[in-house]
Amino acid sequence: MDQLDCNIPNIKKIPGQKLASKKSNNHQTIVDVQGIRIGGKSLVIIAGPCAVENKSQLLDTARLVSEYGAHILRGGAYKPRSSPYSFQGLEEEGLELLQLAKLETGMPVVTEVMDARQVALVGSNTDIFQIGSRNMSNYSLLREVGMTNKPVLLKRGMNATIDEFLWAAEYILHEGNDQVILCERGIRTFETAYRNTLDLNAIPMLKSLTHLPVIVDPSHGTGHRWMVGTMAKAAIAAGADGLIIEVHHQPDLALCDGDQSLYPEEFKKLMEELTILAPAVGRKIHDKATILS
């Protein structure tokens, strides 16, 4: 029982008893999103803007990342912001634009849900729920997405230990939804040279403890556009099952996270580099043709 927990003398946790725990070396969950299999040998790339801002921004970005090889489109309709005065997302209009982008590109979409009351609405407009870092310990929300049968991309809290991260996943699994993808996105440390400290150690550690797929967000993990490609490659070498990367058709005009969003051409170059790197660590990029067919 971790330090956050109260102590109940008569309940004893048996190691390996968690639903999230790996039962054997080969025990591995594959989360299948319309034929895109996350957690297998093939690497899955999620890309798109931080926030859905307007139709042309989303569609232009979506078409480009799709053309360059992304499998799934990301884009925030509801944005958790430190300040109530910051842009909070287009909300329902953003969800509709995501559906439009999906229709245009054929890519499934992932978007964040921040409120248990919005799970039904968001769920009918996304292929994967994202639970953001700030909400990793929002147990009501975890339970609510756990009661759906839609995949959940769960981001590690900024100060969550590996143990707490797995317990958060357990809340979802415990409600019956085993389609959980874990996402390392940087922890908070004393270092201020980067926005967060992307913790790639978490990848082998999580892969050893759980059967759930593990992906990495080098955009939030570093906060610097010029670091994203390098850390993306390091994440794949460390064993990640995929990446979620912020790309914007015009990063300099982005309403949100422009400094860490790749230009489309940078994303293209990264995809080419990953295609070379993947086989060197026994992986390959998911074959996009198989999705659309």
Name residues contacting a second copy, limited to 92-111 (CB under 8 A).
none
- Tell which one of 16, 82, 103, 293 touches a second copy (CB under 8 A): 82
Is 259 among the residues that bind a second copy (CB under 8 A)?
Answer: yes
Q: Does 214 bind a second copy (CB under 8 A)?
A: no
| Token pair 């086989």: residue | 279
Work out which of 37, 63, 150, 174 binds a second copy, going by CB under 8 A.
174
**Per CB under 8 A, does 225 bind a second copy?**
no
57 binds a second copy (CB under 8 A): no
Least separation, in Å, of the C-beta of 28 and a second copy?
16
Complex with a second copy: residue 3 or 293, whichever CB lies closer: 3
135 scored as a contact of a second copy (CB under 8 A): yes
Secondary structure of the chain in the HEC alphabet? Answer: CCCCCCCCCCCCCCCCCCCCECCCCCCCCCEEECCEEECCCEEEEEEECCECCCHHHHHHHHHHHHHCCCCEEECECCCCCCCCCCCCCCCHHHHHHHHHHHHHHCCCEEEECCCHHHHHHHHCCCCEEEECHHHCCCHHHHHHHHCCCCCEEEECCCCCCHHHHHHHHHHHHHCCCCCEEEEECCECCCCCCCCCECCCCHHHHHHHHECCCEEECHHHHHCCHHHHHHHHHHHHHCCCCEEEEEECCCHHHCCCCHHHCECHHHHHHHHHHHHHHHHHCCCEECCCHHHHC
Window 143-162: residues binding a second copy (CB under 8 A): 143, 157-159, 161-162
Instruction: Identify the residue among 16, 25, 26, 190 touching a second copy (CB under 8 A).
Output: 190
123 near a second copy, rule: CB under 8 A:
no
Q: How far apart are CA 254 and CA 263, in angstroms?
A: 11
Q: How far is the CB of 119 from a second copy (least distance, A)?
A: 11
Residues β-bridged to residue 245:
47
Show the CA angle centred on residue 162, arms to residues 214 and 229, nearest 5°.
Answer: 45
34 vs 159, which CB is nearer to a second copy? Answer: 159
Shortest CB 146 distance to a second copy, Å = 9
Q: Which of 102, 155, 225, 233 binds a second copy (CB under 8 A)?
A: 233
Q: How far is the CB of 35 from a second copy (least distance, A)?
A: 27
Nearest-approach distance from CB 103 to a second copy, in angstroms:
27
235-254: which residues touch a second copy (CB under 8 A)? 235-239, 254
- Subset of residues 60 to 79 that bind a second copy, contact rule: CB under 8 A: 79
**Shorter beta-carbon distance to a second copy: residue 121 or 234:** 234
Selection from 39, 34, 105, 104 nearest residue 69 by Cα: 105
User: Measured from the CB atom, is 102 or 248 closer to a second copy?
Assistant: 248
5-44 positions binding a second copy, by CB under 8 A: 5-8, 11, 13
Residues whose CB falls within 8 Å of the CB of residue 87, separated by 6 or more in sequence, listed in order: 51, 79, 81, 255, 256
Rounded least distance, CB 193 to a second copy, Å: 4
Question: Segment near a second copy (CB under 8 A), from 23-31, 60-68, 123-131, 199-207?
Answer: 199-207
